[in-house]
Structure 1
Amino acid sequence: MRSADARDRPSRNDSLTAQLSTVIGGPVGDHALIGRVRFWTPMRVLMAFAVVFLALGWFSKAGCIQQTTGSDGGLTLDWNNGRQYVAMCYSDTVPLYGAERLNEGAFPYKKQWTESSPDGGTQTRYMEYPVLSGLYQYVSMRIAKSWDISPLPGALQVVVYFNVVAFGLAMAWLVTVWASALLAGRRVWDAALVACSPLVIVHAFTNFDALATAFAATGLLAWARRKPVLAGLLLGLGGAAKLYPLLLLGPIIVLCLRADPMQRTPRNHLGLRMRDIDSWSTFVAWVRETPYRVEFLSARPLGAATVTASAALATWVAVNLPIAVLYPNGWQEFFRLNTTRHADPDSIYNVISSFTGWPGFDGAIGYAQQPAILNAVSLLAFVAACALIGYIGLTAPQRPRLAQLCFLVIAAFLLTNKVWSPQYSLWLVPIAVLALPHRRILLAWMTVDALVWVPRMFYYLGLDRKGVPEQWFTGTVALRDLAVVALCAVIVRQIYRPDEDLVRRDYVDDPVGGIVDRMSDPLLPWLPEPLRPRVAPPRG
């Protein structure tokens, strides 16, 4: 809003920001006119912050795209003596260019190759990423190859490829910051932590996860703007890049279950029912009424959630179906690898094994063997966590905010999953800022999470090259997990004590809530007694 009398003023109500503001003259004055600046609006300032931190992120990876002369006299990447770990510049995008056979100009999911496995055998491999991420790599490769034959200044093809990928990921993160700022409502400056997060410097270009965060953030923005079909479309696209945006459908459904279904009663445009169609003309009339039918359904909370979930599923299927039909083996590779993959070094299961010597749920198994018990335990643990989050959402004295439940679901997925790749922490950044706008707490967690990268790189370097022992790395992972658990505990406390929630001050309900924002919050007599909302005790 250009004129924003109700806009949050962090330089006056947040001690950390007040101290930082002394660099530019101190906190805003009591009689300052807020929302009157013509050019340096909050959104443009946030974009400038994001560009600076993305530039720092690129420079943090620049050491891994430096060129040197190889033994044959040709140019090659300077990854000698573990440079990618010593300089802490490692990015998956660089080795994947050759590992996924993109350097051959091959189309992902169609190209197959045979490689040796650590157990001495061989296996047939395909592109290992979800469809949208794989196609993004393919398009970036085609641009890099076109650059290579153009008269423009050249470099190694993999270097050009990395820069093309980084440019697209930077645009995706700028979209994430833009959507987060709009979702923050009157607390627009909370999005500064999305733009200036230490995790952006470390992981913005580590992998392709910024694509998914952009779709997830814009999907929530569409939901907040009460556009359930568009929200489902964007979340479905995000699920085709990384699966986590589809997890956000769960909190949406829970909050719509809790909302009053009789709060809004729109006009009934449903003149025809499916069973009334007995001719071509009535079928045409039924099709013409479809937009009104969707409007009628989406005007009610549970109907809107159904429309969003259906649109997300349809979009995900529409993106995946052509690849699944044409190249079924390549399409299944992502799911096959996630099934046969053992506990990731960053997972809680590996942390326990590192400190206790525990052999894991499945004991000593081969590289290609499926850890069936670990898969079942991680799945059941996540389902149990989701059930608990659903219970919290239904029984809290006041309906929780959507961002709060979204953060709990994503954090539960990461904590219980057998894989927590370091760049996955980017998933939490925009949701955490919307769910818990406490700058000191968030900055402390982001810093701890970003610093996990240091012992991780030196652990991969190896003790024979003056790396660090495994426990130095897994110890920092344990600290990171404890920090995320602490954030979850604070959010749950604020759900049950909404008067402590900074977002809900000044008569604000839920800026991300969309159709459930400012709706009545009934006791839900149709639910069993244990699942009904608790009546908040009177205060004062």
Structure 2
Amino acid sequence: MSPQPLAADLRSADDRDLPSRSDVLGAALSEVVGGRVGRHALIGRTRVLTPLRVMFVIGLVFLALGWSTKAPCLQTVGSGPPDSRVANWDNQRAYYELCYSDTVPLYSAELLNQGKFPYKSSWLELDSEGKPRKQYDGSTAVRYMEYPVLTGVYQYVSMSLAKTYTAVAKATKLPVLNGVAEVVMFFNIAAFGLALCWLATVWATAMLAGRRVWDAALVAASPILIFQIFTNFDALATALATGGLLAWARRRPTLAGVLIGMGVAAKLYPALFLLPLLVLGVRTGRLADAVRTSAIAAITWILINAPVILLYPRGWSEFFRLNTRRSQDMDSIFNVVRSFTGWPGLDAGLGFWEPPLLLNAVVAVLFGSCCAAIIYIAWTAPQRPRVAQLAFLVVAAFLLVNKVWSPQFSLWLVPLAVLALPHRRLLLAWMAVDALVWVPRMFYLYGEQNKGLPEQWFTATVLLRDLAVVGLVILVVRQIYRPTEDLVRWHGRIDDPSGGVFDHAPDAFPARWPAWLRPAVRTEDWDAGRDRAVPA
């Protein structure tokens, strides 16, 4: 009995998952702030330190750590106004200080420092002697902005703000302003927007997590942020892609299509989300909403890209041309095999910028096979898989078999892995391994002649990273076929918090759908077993 009269309002979010009681790691961490939540506490009633605000604070801490890892490369050198100064990258500083970011070299490489609009301006690719290089077909190698339109425009806006800073510094002649290089201010402005995008990703993940809202803390506190959040501009796409999933979960397919289309205009990977929606639309007989989302996404992408396509078609197509002619990247599984076996690769002896046709075909076949396997899993699982599970599988398969896995691409997986497989210790183990790949990568690029690391030290960590992701994939597939083990489903009481129109939707395959593409266990049998699994 309570020694005091009970409050008039006793509402409590008792269904919310409490990590300090349900998770060993959460229980250990809770000791830092006073221990586990009380058994008789009213959950969800605090007005200040709400879960989302706490996760924003955690996210700001890790974003600050991410900026601090880049700080050694942001030291200004030179004299004069900001546009006459540069960042200190002497003696391969970016490698041994682990502070490399594409943002700084791109500022001059893509002519942003000259105030030119991406896709309109071009430059010549030069060799080590400063002479224009020739392509495999004998033509001069001409370069344009290599990013999708939304990312390119984001860089242009950041550059415009950095130029405004320079103008103010010149007008005021204040030493505190003139002491910072324009390229450093460009990085800081771009990083500020990327930080906001990642906080939006944390918010959208928390909303998608439902009763497991604290799972999004892993997005805010991912070790991958420390090295990769400001390496490139991928946080733009993660915010839009995760926002698209949230719009779908809230049964707003048109808005979902707009956000996914914008995400594709920033980075192509959000287009992969459409496959799970269409596949589950077939299984539930609710294909119309999935088709609408796909169509709106395509229209949005076209509308964003159309002005650049019409005005600067050669510059717009550079992104696609670059990706077709790229060979196996140093982080790809193909390069790992080459590193340990001496295998020359699928397209040995190619000329400069000659497309690796065989490698491209193998990647396409491998990814197509993975997609076919994921579709089969989605249709034959005893209970319809969750949207986040299939989205994670598609993106993970794309990264594993692709010829390019740039370090910042791992950010794509963070919110999806948290939503698909909310096992905190497993996820933290994978994220830690993925984050640490950066260290041998930088020291390998620094060179053995400079007391760096041999290539195999780097490729070994890449292999460990790949094996960790494969392990997560296997666990997700296992839980798809054994839904009672899925923590999100909560012993069958919850179906799919991110499912939108698929949530609690029964199977409704077309009448003539082949039996081998239907669930091996009938839905009614699963429902009976699920009911028995729910504790009294």
* 2:115 maps to 1:105: yes
Question: Which of 264, 287, 300 lines up with 1:302 in the alignment?
Answer: 287
Contact 2:235 2:411 in 1 (8 A): yes
* 2:46 maps to 1:37: yes
Q: Please say which of residues 393-402 and 521-530 is displaced more in the overlay.
A: 521-530
Match in the other structure for 2:8: none
- The Cα shift of 1:29 comes to 1.2
Match in the other structure for 2:91: 81
Structure 1 unaligned regions, length at least 5: 262-300
Contact 1:523 1:533 in 2 (8 A): no
Matched residues in 2 for 1:200 and 1:514: separation? 29
Match in the other structure for 1:514: 500
Match in the other structure for 1:351: 336
Q: Report the TM-score when normalising by structure 1.
A: 0.90
Matched residues in 2 for 1:392 and 1:10: separation? 30
Q: Deviations over 1:123-142 (max 9, x none)?
A: 11110000000000000000
Q: Report the TM-score when normalising by structure 2.
A: 0.90
1:473-512 matches, within 5 Å, as: 473-505=458-490, 507-512=493-498
Match in the other structure for 1:147: 165
Matched residues in 2 for 1:211 and 1:444: separation? 25
- The Cα shift of 1:256 comes to 1.1
Matched residues in 1 for 2:364 and 2:13: separation? 46
Match in the other structure for 2:61: 52
Matched residues in 1 for 2:266 and 2:444: separation? 29
- The Cα shift of 1:526 comes to 2.8
Matched residues in 2 for 1:411 and 1:509: separation? 23
Q: Please say which of residues 379-388 and 364-373 is displaced more in the overlay.
A: 364-373
Contact 1:340 1:368 in 2 (8 A): yes
Matched residues in 2 for 1:534 and 1:46: separation? 41
Q: Deviations over 1:374-410 (max 9, x none)?
A: 0000011101100100000000000000000000000
Structure 2 unaligned regions, length at least 5: 1-10, 135-139
Match in the other structure for 1:238: 263
- The Cα shift of 1:78 comes to 1.6
Matched residues in 2 for 1:115 and 1:523: separation? 54
Contact 1:117 1:123 in 2 (8 A): no
1:201-350 matches, within 5 Å, as: 201-259=226-284, 261=285, 301-350=286-335
Letter in 2 for 1:103: N
| Distance 1:107-1:362 versus aligned 2 partners, 3 A rule | same
| Distance 1:141-1:167 versus aligned 2 partners, 3 A rule | same
- The Cα shift of 1:364 comes to 1.9
Match in the other structure for 1:123: 141
Q: Deviations over 1:101-149 (max 9, x none)?
A: 1000000000011122579534111100000000000000000000111
Match in the other structure for 1:10: 19
Letter in 2 for 1:134: G
Q: Deviations over 1:182-228 (max 9, x none)?
A: 00000000000000000111111000000000000100000000000
- The Cα shift of 1:75 comes to 4.0
Match in the other structure for 2:6: none
Matched residues in 2 for 1:117 and 1:222: separation? 48
Question: Which of 447, 470, 481 lines up with 1:462 in the alignment?
Answer: 447
Matched residues in 2 for 1:174 and 1:526: separation? 46
SS in 1 for 2:125: strand
1:342-491 matches, within 5 Å, as: 342-491=327-476
- The Cα shift of 1:523 comes to 6.2
- The Cα shift of 1:367 comes to 2.4
- The Cα shift of 1:463 comes to 1.1
Matched residues in 1 for 2:500 and 2:205: separation? 14
Report the aligned-residue RMSD: 1.6
Contact 2:85 2:182 in 1 (8 A): no
Question: What fraction of aligned residue pairs are identical, expressed as a percent?
Answer: 61
SS in 2 for 1:420: coil
Matched residues in 1 for 2:332 and 2:127: separation? 22
Q: Please say which of residues 520-529 and 165-174 is displaced more in the overlay.
A: 520-529
- The Cα shift of 1:76 comes to 3.2
* 2:11 maps to 1:25: no
